A and B are shown apart, each in its own frame.
Chain A
Amino acid sequence: MNFTSYEFILLTGLILVVYYCVPKRFQWMFLLAASYGMYASAGWMCLVYISITTFSTYLAAVKISKLSGQKADYLKEHRNGMDKEARKAYKDSIKRKQKVWLWIALAVDIGLFVVLKYSNFFIGNINALCSGLEQWKIIPYTEFLVPLGISFYTFQSMGYLLDVYNEKENAQKNYAKLALFVGFFPQLSQGPISRYEDLSRSLYCGHEWNAETVCFGLQRILWGYFKKLVIADRISIGLKTILAAPEQYQGIYFGVAMIFYAVQLYADFTGGIDIAVGIAQAMGITLKENFMRPFFSKSIKEYWNRWHISMGSWFKDYLFYPLSVSKTMLRISKKSRKLLGEEAGKRVPVYLTTSIVWFCTGIWHGASWNFVVWGLANCAVLLVSRELTPVYRWCHQHFSLEKKKWYPVFCVCRTVVLMSALRMFDCYRDVRIPVRLFFGMFTENNFSELWNGGLLRLGLSMADYIILLCGAVLMLSVSLVQRKQPVRKTVSELPYPVRTALWLLLFTAVLLLGAYGQGYEESQFIYNQF
C-alpha cells in the first residue's frame, strides 16, 4: 500500500490507536496481523509470496541453529577425547549439513525474488537476442503481481539467515515472530533493510504509551510527508515533462532534470524512510537510520556510506566480504598475481568482486540494463578515485588543499554533481540518451531557457517553484541543524504555543501545498451543456 494513499494514512492511524489499547504482550501479534492485513489489501498472492519466503527462511534458520547447538554440545562432551583433526572433521561435517539448508533456503528466496521481479527482464533479453533466428517464437511476457517491498523483505530475510549461519544470531523459533520481522509493514514500501540484531531488540517486547516518543514519531512522519508530498511529488511533475521528451528538452534542460531528479529522489526516498522510521518510533520500535545527510559527502565513497545505508551495508556484509574471501577469489588472486605481477595482480580480485557487487546493486534497483549501467558506472568512479589516491595525496601536499576553506565545499559540490549525473541512467531505458544529453549540455547553448520562461512550461507554475525553493531551503536547514541534535529535539525545547504552532503550520503546509489528489482547475467546473 502506498504511503501517500488516504487508506494507508487512515489504517496506520487506526493501527497506532489499537496498538496501545491491546495488552502489551499481544502488541507484536497485533502488529503481525496488521502488517498482513495491509499486505493482503494489495492482493492475496502477495501474502502467499511473503509467506513462502518467511517459511523457507524460518525452517532453514531453525535447522541450522539446531545443528550449531548439536555441534557445541558434542564438542563439549568430547572435549578430551578428540584431537584437533577429529574436531575439525566433525565441524566440517556439521558445516556441510548447515550449508545444504542454507542453500536450499537461499535458492527459494532468491528464486522467488528473481522469478517475480526479473522474469520479464530475462524474457525481453532472450527475445532480443533470438530475434535474428529464424522460426523464433517470441516468448510472451509474464504477468506476475510483483509484491510490494519484495526487494526489501527478501534481502532482510537472507541477511537474517546468513547471520544465523554465521552464528551471529540464534534462530527465531517462533514462526509468527519471524513473520513479523520479515513483514513489518512500515518497511514494506521503501525499506530500510533491517538487521535482525537491530530490529528484534524492540520489535517483540511490549511498549508502554510514551507521549514523547509517540510525538516524535508522529512529527517525523509529518516531516516525511512534507518531503514526499510537497517537494518530491511536485517536482516530479516537471521532471516527467522533461524526461518524456528527450528530443525536445536538450542542453541545459538535462542539467535541470539532473537537479530535479536529485531533489525528487532525495525528498521521496528520505521522506519515505522518515515515514517508516516515524511509524515504528510512534510504536516504540527503533529502525536504523538509512541516510546520514548524503549530499554533504565529500567523496563518492562517503556518499555510499551515507545514502541508503542499510542497502550498502547489506551488500558489503553479505556479498562483498563473503565473495572476497571465498576460495574461488583467493585462487583467482593467486593466479592473477602470478600472471600479472604483485601490484596489478592484487587488484584483479578486488575489481572483480566490486564489479559483481555493483552489478547486483544496479539490477536490484530495477530490472533493466540502464540500472546495471548505473551500478557499474558507480563502480568505475569508485575504483578510479581509489586509483587516483596517490595523485590526490600529492595535490594535497603541494597545494595544501586541506587548509583551504573552499576545498570541502568544492568536494561536496563535486559529489553532488557526479552522483546526480550518474543517476540519470535511472531515468532513461536507453543508456545512450543520457550520455548524449549529458554532452549536449556543453555543446547546445540554450542557457537562456532558464530565464526566458522555458521553465514555466514544464507544468510547474511560479508558485510551484517558490514552494519548491522554500521546501529545499527548509530541507537543507534541517540537515544543517540536525548535525548537532535532532530538529525535533530542538523544537521540543521551545515554549509550548510556539512549537505547537510550528507543527500545526507544517501540517497545514502538507495539507495545502501537497501535490496530492486531483488538482483543482476552475475550468473543470465550468458548466457546459448539462
Chain B
Amino acid sequence: MKKKGVRLVLTMLVAVLVLWFLQRLLMPKYMSGIPEGAMIAEYYDSEKIHDVIFLGDCEVYEAFSPCYLGERYGISSYVRGSAQQLIWQSYYLLEDTLRYETPEAVVFNIMSLMHGEPQNEAYNRMTLDGMRWSASKWKAVQASMLEEESVWEYVFPLLRYHTRWQELGAEDVKYLFSRDKVTWEGYLLRVETKPVTVIPEPIELPDYTFSGYAMEYLEKLRVLCEKKGIELIFVKAPSLYPHWYEEWEQQVDAYAAEHGIAYYNFLELAEEAGIDYRTDTYDGGLHMNLSGAEKLSDYLGKKLVEVHGIPVRTGEETYQNVWEPKVKLYHEEIEKKKSGVPEYE
C-alpha cells in the first residue's frame, strides 16, 4: 500500500514535470521579432526601487526612456507598458506593481480610454501572459477576455499554445529557461527614422463619449493612487494617428481639472518639447524613435522634478550602483544600433 502511494506520487510528479516542461517549450518566447510580448515579464527582474511608473500602450513604451531620465535627472522610473494595453489592464498592472513597490507618481497615457471593451486576443496574451500570478492577474484576465477566450487558457497556457509544436524553432530551445532583456527599463529602443509623410484623415465616429467601462477603470486607477498616496499624471504621446479627437481631449481635460490631475498633451506640446516629425519617429508618425523619446523624456523629466517633486537620486549609492552599468550598456546599445541598422522599412 505504502509502496503504491509512493509510486503514485512519483508518477504524478513526473507527469506535472513533463507538462510544465512542454508548457515552457511551447509558449512563445518573444525574444526576436515581437519583443512586445516579453515586456511585462521583464519588470519582475528589475530592482523595484522606482519613484515613477509609466502605464499605458505602445505610446508610452516608445516615448519615455527611464535610462535617460535616470542619467539626466536622477529619476528612478520604469515603464510598465505593453502593446494595446487596455485601461483595465493598466489598472491591474498597477495593482500588481504595488505588490512590490509604491512609487511617488504614476504616469498614465490616456490613449487607451478610446477602448471600452476587450479588443484582440493576441494583444491580451502579450500583456497578460507575462504577469505573475496574483488576484490582480485573475481579475485582469476576467476583464480582458473576449467571448471565445477561456480563463483556463491563461491558467494553463499550454492549452492556448498547444498547437505551436508546428512552429517550434531554435529560439524556443535557447530561451527555455532564461530570457534576454528586450527593453531598457520598459523602454523599447528604436533608432530608425521614418519621417511623417501622410496623415490619414480621421474617421468620423458615431459617438465620442468614452465608454462607461473605460471611465470606471480610470476612476479606479485614480482612487487607488489616492489611497496609496501616489500622484497620478496623465500624458498623451504625440502620435499623429490614430487620431486624438478634440471631443476626447475635452473629456480628459474635464476629468483632470475636476480631480486636480496634471495632464501633458504632447500633441499640443510637441513644438515646445522640440519634436520634429521628420526625424523623431520611426514609423511615419505613430511612434517615437530614440530621438523623439529623449526629447519627451527631457521635457517630462524636468516637469517631474520641478513641478511634481520627484526625488533626485543622483549620488545615492543604491541607485547609482543600479544605474551605472545599465546606462553604460544603454549607450553601447544605441551606438551599436545606430551603426548597424538600416532605415526602417
Contact = CB atoms under 8 A, between A and B. Distances in A.
Direct contact between A and B judged by beta carbons closer than 8 A: yes
Interface in A479-530: 496, 500, 504, 507-508, 511-514, 516-520, 522, 524-527, 529-530
A6 B156 CA distance: 11
A527 B83 contact: yes
B207 interface: no
Contact of A520 (B126, B148, B160, B286): B160
Contacts of B22: 508, 511-512
Contacts of A518: 121, 148-149, 153, 160
B159 interface: yes
Interface in B131-150: 148-150
A10 interface: yes
Contacts of B159: 6, 511, 516-517
Interface in B211-265: none
B334 interface: no
Contacts of B15: 504, 507
Given A500-B11, A525-B34, A527-B34, A6 B160 contact: no
A6 to B, nearest CB: 4
Given A504-B15, A504-B18, A520 B7 contact: no
Contacts of A463: 166
B61 to A, nearest CB: 11
A254 B26 CA distance: 37
Interface string A113-142: 000000000000000000000000000000
Interface in B160-218: 160-167
Given A524-B122, A525-B126, A527-B36, A517 B7 contact: no
A526 B150 contact: no
B164 A525 contact: no
B148 A512 contact: no
B153 A517 contact: yes
A10 B152 CA distance: 10
Interface residues of B, number: 38
A508 B14 CA distance: 13
A524 B124 CA distance: 11
Contacts of B18: 504, 508
A466 to B, nearest CB: 11
- Between B7, B58, B158, B166, the greatest number of chain A beta carbons within 10 A of the residue's beta carbon is seen for B166
A507 B166 CA distance: 18
B34 A519 contact: no
B95 interface: no
A283 B78 CA distance: 54
B84 interface: yes
Contacts of B162: 511-514, 516-517, 520
Given A519-B163, A520-B163, A527-B36, A511 B152 contact: no
Interface string B39-58: 00000000000000000011
B28 A530 contact: no
B123 interface: yes
B37 interface: yes
Contacts of B161: 520
Nearest to B23: A511
Contacts of A496: 7
B135 to A, nearest CB: 20
Contacts of A525: 28, 34, 37, 122, 125-126
A527 B123 CA distance: 8
B156 to A, nearest CB: 9
Contacts of B122: 524-525
Contacts of A522: 167
Contacts of B160: 517-518, 520
A90 B200 CA distance: 92
A529 B160 CA distance: 24
A10 B83 CA distance: 32
Nearest to A461: B166
A357 B122 CA distance: 52
A511 B58 contact: no
Nearest to B59: A530
Contact of A511 (B28, B84, B153, B158): B158
B152 A530 contact: no
A530 B163 contact: no
B208 to A, nearest CB: 20
Contacts of B165: 512
B150 A520 contact: no
Contact of B34 (A461, A517, A526): A526
Interface string B4-15: 000100010011
A409 B286 CA distance: 68
Contacts of A520: 160-164, 167
B27 to A, nearest CB: 10
Contacts of A519: 163
B11 A530 contact: no
Contacts of A517: 150, 153, 159-160, 162
Contacts of B125: 525
Contacts of A524: 121-122
A110 B248 CA distance: 59
A512 B166 CA distance: 10
A529 B286 CA distance: 7
B42 to A, nearest CB: 16
A530 B150 contact: no
Given A10-B152, A463-B166, A530 B121 contact: no
A165 B221 CA distance: 68
A511 B161 CA distance: 10
A508 B20 CA distance: 12
A526 B34 CA distance: 7
A524 B146 CA distance: 15
Contacts of B126: 525
Nearest to B242: A529
A517 B156 CA distance: 12
Contacts of B34: 525-527
Contacts of B164: 520
A516 B165 CA distance: 14
B121 to A, nearest CB: 7
A19 to B, nearest CB: 19
A496 B10 CA distance: 12
Nearest to B58: A530
B114 to A, nearest CB: 11
A425 to B, nearest CB: 32
Contacts of A461: 166
Interface in A426-448: none
Contacts of B33: 526
Interface string B107-132: 00000000000000111011000000
A507 B15 CA distance: 10
B8 to A, nearest CB: 9
Contacts of B121: 518, 524
Contacts of A526: 33-34
Given A461-B166, A507-B15, A520-B163, 14 more contacts: A6-B153, A463-B166, A508-B18, A508-B19, A508-B22, A512-B22, A516-B162, A517-B150, A518-B148, A525-B125, A526-B34, A527-B34, A530-B84, A530-B123
30 contacts: A6-B150, A6-B152, A463-B166, A496-B7, A504-B14, A507-B15, A508-B18, A508-B22, A511-B22, A511-B158, A512-B22, A512-B26, A514-B162, A516-B159, A518-B121, A518-B148, A518-B160, A520-B160, A520-B163, A520-B164, A520-B167, A524-B121, A525-B28, A525-B34, A525-B125, A525-B126, A526-B34, A527-B36, A530-B83, A530-B123
Nearest 4 CB-CB pairings of A with B? A530-B84, A6-B152, A524-B122, A520-B163
